[in-house]
Amino acid sequence: MIVTLILILFVTYKLYERFFPASWGDPNGKYVLISGCDTGFGNGLAKELDCQGYNVIAGVYSNNTIEQLGKELSSKATVFKLDITKQQDIDGAFELVKSKTDNLHALVNNAGVGRGGLIDWTPLTLYRDVMEVNFFGHVSMTKTFLPLLLRQPGNRIVNISSIAGYFASPAVSAYCASKYALEAFSDCLRREMAQWGLKVSVIEPGLMRTAIFEGKEEALSQLWTNLTSDTKERWGEAFFDQHMKRMNDFMKNTQDPMIVVRALQHAVSSSKPNFRFRP
């Protein structure tokens, strides 16, 4: 009986999808704010949305990126310095956006860091640093921009999570914890904001070729160097060397980040964006 009911619901859903497909909205006059546009998903998304005709407001961490990305985008776009761990920067971003529009179509919380190591090797300061960027920064951005996002039903928030937000693997506990937290926050936010018609999507990429993995070997070596002699003796140099080799082999399996950018485009543009995307 239950199986039959599930089958009926599934077929009904598929028929609904077929006969009432989602459409992509008109980008003209719509503003999209994206954090973390220096490289990777944010950089690619800013360029794609700019080509579609959106008014892109791209936050970058490095001052060097402002001029470079500005040259690659149209005159409609705005590129500015944004560190989401600093409330002063976030407040400045709010004033910047508000000076352009009082109705923000989409906030894409994309900025992130990917530092980590075995739990026994990882200092609490690193856990806090990762959480500040990958979780608390996005929470602060969301709370700050809600007044502009709630101006019109159909506006949306898109949070960049990860496969690490639903599958916890060894040696990335800080990163996994930050993404699990963002997943829970996103689900709470979606349910609370449903009455306003604010859409909330989560993007959960796998292993992609982005700058977040640059410098991993050096960072892990530095983590090992800073350990106490007792901890090093407990694990042993042979284990560290093997762990480093496994990590390097793992990094060879990265995918093209454009598949994530396409999912992000759907989340920003579709009239019926998915709750979750797993590109």
CB atoms within 10 A of CB 227: 18
Do the domain assignments include residue 202? yes
The two three-digit tokens of residue 129, written as one number:
């640093």
What radius of gyration do the chain's Cα atoms show? 20
The two three-digit tokens of residue 15, written as one number:
């028929």
Gap between the Cα atoms of 138 and 99, Å rounded: 22
- Of 29, 21, 30, which Cα lies nearest the Cα of 272? 21
Q: What is the pLDDT of residue 19?
A: 45
Q: Considering 31, 54, 61, 175, which one is annotated as catalytic? A: 175
Q: What is the pLDDT of residue 208?
A: 76
The answer to whether 175 is a known catalytic residue is: yes
Do the domain assignments include residue 13? no
Which range marks the domain in which residue 257 is found? 29-277
SS3 of 137, please?
helix
Q: What is the pLDDT of residue 12?
A: 53
Backbone angles phi, psi at 217, to 5 degrees: -65, -45
Q: What is the pLDDT of residue 250?
A: 73
What does the pLDDT profile of the chain (279 residues) look like in tens digits? 666 665 665 555 454 454 445 677 899 999 999 999 999 999 999 999 999 999 999 999 999 999 999 999 999 999 999 999 999 999 999 999 999 999 999 999 999 998 889 999 999 999 999 999 999 999 999 999 999 999 999 999 999 999 989 999 999 999 999 999 999 999 999 999 999 999 999 999 987 777 766 677 888 899 999 999 999 999 999 999 998 888 887 777 778 889 999 999 999 999 999 999 999
Do the domain assignments include residue 195? yes
The two three-digit tokens of residue 51, written as one number:
């080509």
- Of 68, 59, 74, which Cα lies nearest the Cα of 108? 59
Q: What is the pLDDT of residue 31?
A: 98
Do the domain assignments include residue 9? no
Q: What is the pLDDT of residue 209?
A: 75
Gap between the Cα atoms of 138 and 276, Å rounded: 17
Do the domain assignments include residue 1? no
| Crossing angle between the packed helical segments 87-98 and 137-149, to the nearest 10 degrees | 20
The two three-digit tokens of residue 93, written as one number:
């971003």
Do the domain assignments include residue 158? yes
DSSP label at 252?
T
Q: CATH no. for residue 104?
A: 3.40.50.720
Total domains, the chain:
1
